């Protein structure tokens, strides 16, 4: 009886290990997209924009967001503007919009993450780490934004 009990648990352990080994590589290579990072209840409907970003149609999302920004001074809109501008290579303007998002909502976790990623991409590791420190204060128990920025910093450091 005892042997079958151990065998059963060994099988569960093996199945669990297979599941982890299957999921972890996929989770670590999938980049974060600004699709589920809407933090404000006052945000306009960003469903169409989020779909374009998920499809990597950054120019289409950018056109929609510029229209929305004319009528909405809102942190989520500015954050997504920064994200799409960064993804299209316009880091200088992206920086402006991340800062606008943070002026409106200093505790906007996604804006902190993406601003930190911009700094990683432009080689300003000190400023990236400042954003990481802000996220550590906002997420003392951890959050996706904190772990994503930490991964971006760690990847840059090991290159």
Condensed to tens digits (0 to 9), the pLDDT of residues 64-100 reads 999 999 988 999 999 999 999 999 999 999 999 999 9
> Cα separation of 149 and 32, whole Å?
10
Query: Does residue 116 fall inside a structural domain?
Result: yes
Q: Tell me: do 49 and 82 sit in the same domain.
A: yes
At residue 159, the pLDDT reads: 80
Alpha-carbon torsion angle 56, 67, 85, 36, nearest 10: -50
Q: CATH code at 84?
A: 1.25.40.10
Q: What is the pTM of this model?
A: 0.75
Handedness of CA 121, 146, 79, 99 (dihedral sign): negative
Span 126-150, mean pLDDT?
97
Closest CA to 107 of 128, 138, 84: 138
Query: Does residue 36 fall inside a structural domain?
Result: no
Q: Which range marks the domain in which residue 145 is found?
A: 109-158
Q: Write the pLDDT tens digit of every residue in 94-106.
A: 999 999 999 999 9
């Amino acid at each position: 009886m005892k042997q079958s009990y151990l065998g059963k648990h060994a099988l569960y352990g093996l199945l669990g290990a297979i599941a982890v080994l299957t999921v972890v590589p996929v989770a670590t290579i999938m980049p974060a997209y600004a699709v589920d990072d809407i933090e404000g209840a006052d945000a306009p409907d960003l469903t169409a924009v989020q779909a374009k970003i998920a499809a990597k149609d950054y120019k289409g999302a950018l056109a929609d967001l510029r229209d929305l920004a004319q009528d909405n001074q809102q942190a989520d809109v500015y954050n997504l503007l920064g994200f799409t501008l960064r993804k299209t290579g316009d880091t200088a303007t992206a920086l402006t919009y991340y800062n606008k998002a943070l002026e409106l909502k200093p505790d906007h976790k996604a804006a902190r993450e993406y601003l930190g990623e911009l700094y990683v991409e432009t080689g300003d590791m000190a400023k990236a780490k400042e954003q990481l420190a802000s996220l550590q204060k906002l997420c003392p128990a951890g959050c996706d934004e904190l772990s994503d920025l930490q991964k971006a910093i760690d990847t840059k450091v090991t290159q």
